[in-house]
Amino acid sequence: MKLLLLFFLFPFILFAQSNLARAEKLFSDGKYLEARPIFETILVSNASDLKVLEYLGDIASHTKFWDTAIKYYGKLRQLKPHEANYHYKFGGALGMKAKNSNKFKALMMIDEVKEAFETAAKLDPKHIDTRWALVMLYLELPGIVGGSESKARKYASELFKLSPVDGYLSRGQIEEYFKRYGTAEQQYKKAIAVGGSKTCYQKLASLYKNKMNEPEKANLILQKINH
């Protein structure tokens, strides 16, 4: 009986796998609106498919449908509450919704955003993106609702332990935010010395061009990317 059942189910299993592969290919090609209905169809037969739920949340994020992204990431958090990345993505979607809401609505969401990111950080001591999100969150929040340079520095220090280049970049970001441009310049130069990635050069070039009014220096730095 089991063998007979498997015989009948086999074509459907192959069909589902084929659909998933096609949807994943469309997603990787950036064709989010084409991938979405295929993922939604797969979800009908398995409403708790973690991979499909995450893809749908990511599509909603890429297309800036924040409420939809929050719904999918929220479901993922319920299904697997100890997965740091789900809390991180939920906090990110909620934070973007807050940024695009009026100030009163945004203030109502801040605590939940902080809780999501901090939960992710506790669940995964090596989650770099979460620590970057917390650095930026505590920098950009007004002090009256929890903004704090010391907390931003705390997570920048955690970043440094995980990845020195991210540590220097995040320290540079903090210095730049508070208009301590000379110190920011030093941090970005240290990031270049340690990592030398395109991002490192771009951060220093942006500082020269947009904050220190030194476009010649910015151009010299950008030229180094292509050498």
The domain spanning residue 82 has which CATH number? 1.25.40.10
Give the contacts of 131 (CB within 8 A, at least 6 positions apart).
121, 155, 156, 158, 159, 162, 166, 170
* DSSP annotation of 145: G
Please give the tally of structural domains in the chain: 1
For residue 16, is it within any domain? no
For residue 68, is it within any domain? yes
Q: Are 76 and 84 in contact (CB under 8 A)?
A: no
For residue 113, is it within any domain? yes
For residue 198, is it within any domain? no
Domain range for 102:
50-162
Question: Would you place residue 124 in the very low, low, confident or very high pLDDT band (cuts 50, 70, 90)?
Answer: very high
Give tens-digit pLDDT for 57-104: 999 999 999 999 999 999 999 999 999 999 999 999 999 999 888 888
For residue 10, is it within any domain? no
For residue 83, is it within any domain? yes
The predicted structure's pLDDT at residue 5: 42
Average pLDDT, the chain: 90
Helices assigned H by DSSP within the chain: 2-28, 32-45, 50-62, 66-79, 84-99, 103-123, 128-140, 149-162, 164-177, 181-194, 198-206, 215-225
Question: Quick check: pTM over 0.85?
Answer: yes
Q: In terms of C-beta distances under 8 Å and separation of at least 24 residues, what long-range contacts does 11-17 make, across chains too?
A: 16/42, 16/45
User: Which of 179, 197, 185, 187 shows the shortest CA–CA distance to 156?
Assistant: 187
